[in-house]
Structure 1
């Protein structure tokens, strides 16, 4: 089968590789859509910390935001899975440790991460092998565009839950990228008054098309009481500003990661009686995300600017966007395509 392989920093290409075979407890999925995210970009450039910590190494097959259809199953798997449309968890715990037994496999010290950690092949390929317990079935009302947005949506839903957002709360999201916009959509669906703060004119203009209460650059941000602040940016200075902006006794959520260390003053955290929440993965939010997408309370599809073929994956990771792309932040890959196509 064809797969996109990163062989070194900014070195990549589509290769013919052996097609996966479903082992015991596994399913093979024919991949329909894959989202490209900032983590994939860091692996492409060689900046991702896992490369330097020994958790990942080249060559790598990326892709952890995906959907597709089960085409084969291994021993011990109900054959009824064949033909089901699915997406799946990225985090694959060992299943034996204390964390896994408590349902926290996404922080298992020995975990694999599909397309990210431990050499587990990702979804930027025509097929993907996945443990069946990691699969989530997609209802017919969740199409391929939305299906490949379940993983980032799970992260965003967890951020909203971590912020303890309620109807009538005023919520500020720092960073109007894919995750920040999804956080905003989930918070808005709860009846919150949602504001976003960003830097680039393009991202701010797109965010304004989604109907939020306010979209601001840093200098124009109004002096309002913020019941929750979610940092979904990669700016090292914004975690401290999030703590500065949030109302005493409320919550800040950190889901964005900067390229260098960010610092906060824990005296501010304690003296304001603020709860700080960190979000690593989508795992506990996947089922809830599928439910909301299926019900139509959150629609992630406007965030997808274009869908292109596997041959364009390297260019996308290098920053290319098709001339016909929309204004959204997300680019999808369809491994079945051989040329660029509008989403």
Structure 2
């Protein structure tokens, strides 16, 4: 539980109960992302706007096994390995009826907004309609990376890459590196740029074709540029780099406004795409992970216990961590 900005602790809380149409899942593994850290520091937009208040249980990248069913739930879900959508729409509004529950004005967000405790716990309750079954070919580590994978897949879909296109991804964190793998799977020539040498080393280990310092990019025509950073200057840079008629995709979120000149956008006939949420990309991500066309597991640097998590949120890198950007928590046994 995050009890206040900069304060987190493990607490005993009442076990969730499956309401009608819901299930309870025994969580096996969950990931920590930048949103969780911003909720911890108090800098996240939801805290500033008041839709997330303390105490708050975080956790929206996760997987587990269905253990309890509410009324009206198909018994076939019992014992299934699953993950679930983070965005839980009202189910009644125009957006939800059109399949866009991830932008429902009245949505809940697991572990990010009030009303839906997150999955950094031994058990979590979710609507059965949010569940996605995991095949045996997607192990627990990959299963807990489906949510960030869905965001990355949507970013790559937004770039509309074709075989032979050249794509530049600015930012080599978890989302950027997953974008690079999905982009490569389309047959596009894929490049990644970052200012952190350690992040670039991970991109090289993944076999990404072009790996560059963000300050020393080659002079190449870029058919699509994906901003997967948290730098407010990057969207404008992406617009300056992309080819006329190309596409820029913004999936990274900065802590302050990003400014672009819409005259440059219009006069170059560039399309700009924003991506919120993994929701429409979850099924496709599971398919890619199951087929092995994208393997997210090298991104996991360490797996820790729940008791280790407050220190991780405060910025402590677990001892013995690998080079990847992602920290996982295991609920079923001590961290290792």
TM-score range, shorter chain: over 0.9
Q: Would you say the 8 A contact 1:67–1:86 is kept in 2? A: yes
Query: Among residues 116, 123, 128, which one is paired with 2:119 in the alignment?
Result: 123
Instruction: Answer yes or no: is 1:285 the counterpart of 2:281.
Output: yes
User: In the alignment, what sits opposite 2:160?
Assistant: 164
Give, in whole Å, the separation in 2 of the partners of 1:132 and 1:242.
39
Query: Among residues 164, 173, 176, which one is paired with 1:177 in the alignment?
Result: 173
Give, in whole Å, the separation in 2 of the partners of 1:96 and 1:324.
48
By how many angstroms is 1:336 displaced?
2.8
Instruction: Answer yes or no: is 1:212 the counterpart of 2:199.
Output: no
Query: Among residues 300, 303, 307, which one is paired with 2:299 in the alignment?
Result: 303
Give, in whole Å, the separation in 2 of the partners of 1:33 and 1:185.
22
By how many angstroms is 1:337 displaced?
3.3
User: In the alignment, what sits opposite 2:196?
Assistant: 200
User: In the alignment, what sits opposite 1:107?
Assistant: 103
The one-character-per-residue Cα deviations of 1:16-39 (angstroms, maximum 9, x if unpaired) are: 000011000000000011010000
User: In the alignment, what sits opposite 2:318?
Assistant: 322
Q: TM-score, normalised to structure 2's length?
A: 0.99
User: In the alignment, what sits opposite 2:40?
Assistant: 44
By how many angstroms is 1:219 displaced?
2.3
Instruction: Answer yes or no: is 1:222 the counterpart of 2:218.
Output: yes
Instruction: Answer yes or no: is 1:268 the counterpart of 2:264.
Output: yes
Gaps of 5+ in 2: none
Q: TM-score, normalised to structure 1's length?
A: 0.97
By how many angstroms is 1:133 displaced?
0.3
What SS does the corresponding residue of 2:106 show, helix, strand or coil? coil
Q: Would you say the 8 A contact 1:309–1:336 is kept in 2? A: no
Aligned residues: 336
Q: Would you say the 8 A contact 1:166–1:190 is kept in 2? A: yes
Give, in whole Å, the separation in 2 of the partners of 1:185 and 1:59.
37
Query: Among residues 51, 68, 74, which one is paired with 2:70 in the alignment?
Result: 74
Q: Would you say the 8 A contact 2:56–2:114 is kept in 1? A: no
Give, in whole Å, the separation in 1 of the partners of 2:81 and 2:28.
10
User: In the alignment, what sits opposite 1:186?
Assistant: 182
Query: Among residues 44, 49, 55, which one is paired with 2:51 in the alignment?
Result: 55
By how many angstroms is 1:335 displaced?
2.1
Give, in whole Å, the separation in 2 of the partners of 1:81 and 1:204.
41
User: In the alignment, what sits opposite 1:92?
Assistant: 88
Q: CA RMSD in A?
A: 0.7
By how many angstroms is 1:217 displaced?
1.0
More deviation in 272-281 or 206-215?
A: 206-215
What SS does the corresponding residue of 2:154 show, helix, strand or coil? helix
